[in-house]
Chains A and B, each alone.
Chain A
């Protein structure tokens, strides 16, 4: 099977090779080989149950959490297969951060939420830690709203702010790849817009991979789009191209809203 590449000029940040993930013997992802270009936003779209979240969660091995999940194939990061027995999960997840569908701030202060990662991963303390926290909150476009309330509970924030706090928490660990699993689906339109702007901004400096069920969102925020169905990649390419001139009839049906 040949790897689907968005463009030949772009450097690859992370790629999958013949990746199959099954839950209790039922395959959710069937031999997927794709490469995610560096410092760009890639959107994963497709109908419910198509395997897009499974693919995302395979990239930082969060599928390990599911008891009957079984993974075959490879995911190559820095020339190394992350499913290799010698792979250290802490190191993997330091490189590959993730935010979830529903904001999940820890029940601690805003500062502590962001500080926890750098403190445990790099042993930062004091002034240096404060600077990292501020930097992460600024990059998550949250600093101005919370700078006077850093000691307040992360759960006291609004849903959209909570999600940006989770993004800041992820950024503070200094990852290079950001995974986002429908990051706006639990948010109101204004919060959604803020997160979308943030994703576009982050895409300049990070490799961002976003699962979304919102096609307009995929079109607005991503450089590349992968369309999945029945656990397989149907079409993969530059977002503008894929939406304007889909090559496969399934893609066309889906983006024209004939099913999904």
Chain B
């Protein structure tokens, strides 16, 4: 192969060997960083898998139709966690119904008016702080306000209100973030077509942002369903042997739920057998994983439709 000659007047330096040295350095650095990132990434994934695998291993033997549907028997030492599952689902359903409109409207408000108004910037900062507030704080707030002040008592209703507060900040933030991903060109297109600001939001921006918004809602519910502390003082009952009955009274009564059952059951060794705890643990993690899977499914389905 013929070497290309360099332009006349190029400084007399051994360019080739200098470049070769730099290339070798770069290659070493690349290899090192690839190794480090790969190893750390793999460790993270393995950790998660190990967690799920251990719980699945310990809990799988307990899972049965009876365990999932029957109430505890014989002073909590036998039977199942039916009322706890039902209670957790009820708590989540109520929080979903109440937190979704609040969170989505809040997010729309911040996305629409956020940049120009000082008040809105302050609100954004507050919501972000709330989203990072430890759940126990929500639990105590719910106790003070809903249980005592509003005299809801320790009840499903107080639990709904507390969990709603817990979920709203995350939904506001994800809604706002999802709306901010809507390309300005689409908004321009809507406005140029003579659509009003709200029509543009409703017809173009919200549908575009919907997968992101739904994902945010589901993930925040998944987090809520696994938290014991917001419902600890507001909605929970531990010792349930009765099968739950649903009716208007249910609203004013406390409910059993999985995270509280786990926390209390574990604190009282010898009362609840370990296999039941592991079973409940697996049930709870399966529930949250299911919600996450649902979120991913919804997102990919919707994205595929028109994007």
Contact = CB atoms under 8 A, between A and B. Distances in A.
A104 to B, nearest CB: 4
Given A107-B306, A153-B307, A93 B194 contact: yes
A154 B183 CA distance: 16
A106 B190 contact: yes
B81 to A, nearest CB: 43
A104 B194 contact: no
B66 interface: no
Contacts of B78: none
A107 B208 contact: yes
A129 to B, nearest CB: 15
B196 interface: yes
A155 B191 CA distance: 19
B132 interface: no
A94 interface: yes
A116 interface: yes
A117 B196 CA distance: 11
B27 interface: no
Residue of A60, A67, A120 most packed against chain B (CB within 10 A): A120
B306 A90 contact: no
A155 B305 CA distance: 10
Contacts of B23: none
Contact of A106 (B194, B204, B305): B204
B203 interface: yes
Interface stretch (A18-26, A75-83, A165-173, A238-246): A165-173
B307 A120 contact: no
Contact of B189 (A89, A121, A166): A166
B193 to A, nearest CB: 5
Interface string B191-211: 111111001000110011000
Contacts of A191: none
B189 A100 contact: yes
A65 B307 contact: no
Contacts of A62: 188, 191-192
A137 interface: no
A94 to B, nearest CB: 5
Given A107-B207, A108-B306, A93 B192 contact: yes
A106 B186 contact: yes
A109 interface: yes
A102 interface: yes
A166 B190 CA distance: 11
Nearest to B302: A107
A98 interface: yes
The size class of the interface chain B forms with chain A is 20 to 34
A97 interface: yes
A238 B188 CA distance: 32
Interface in B261-296: none
Given A100-B185, A104-B185, A106-B186, A153 B306 contact: yes
A153 B305 contact: yes
B149 interface: no
B307 A98 contact: no
Interface string B202-239: 01100110000000000000000000000000000000
B241 to A, nearest CB: 53
Given A107-B306, A107-B307, A109-B306, A100 B194 contact: no
A67 B116 contact: yes
Contacts of A60: 192
Interface string A50-62: 0000000000101
Contacts of B208: 107
B117 to A, nearest CB: 12
A97 B192 CA distance: 6
Residue of B188, B190, B193 most packed against chain A (CB within 10 A): B193
A120 B190 CA distance: 11
A155 B185 CA distance: 14
Contact of A120 (B191, B199, B305): B199
Given A107-B306, A153-B306, A65 B194 contact: no
Interface string A128-145: 000000000000000000
A106 B305 CA distance: 12
B181 to A, nearest CB: 12
Given A117-B195, A153-B306, 11 more contacts: A62-B188, A94-B194, A97-B193, A104-B186, A104-B188, A104-B189, A106-B189, A108-B306, A117-B193, A117-B194, A155-B307
5 contacts: A65-B191, A97-B193, A104-B186, A116-B195, A120-B199
Shortest 4 CB-CB contacts between residues of A and residues of B = A93-B194, A104-B185, A98-B192, A107-B306
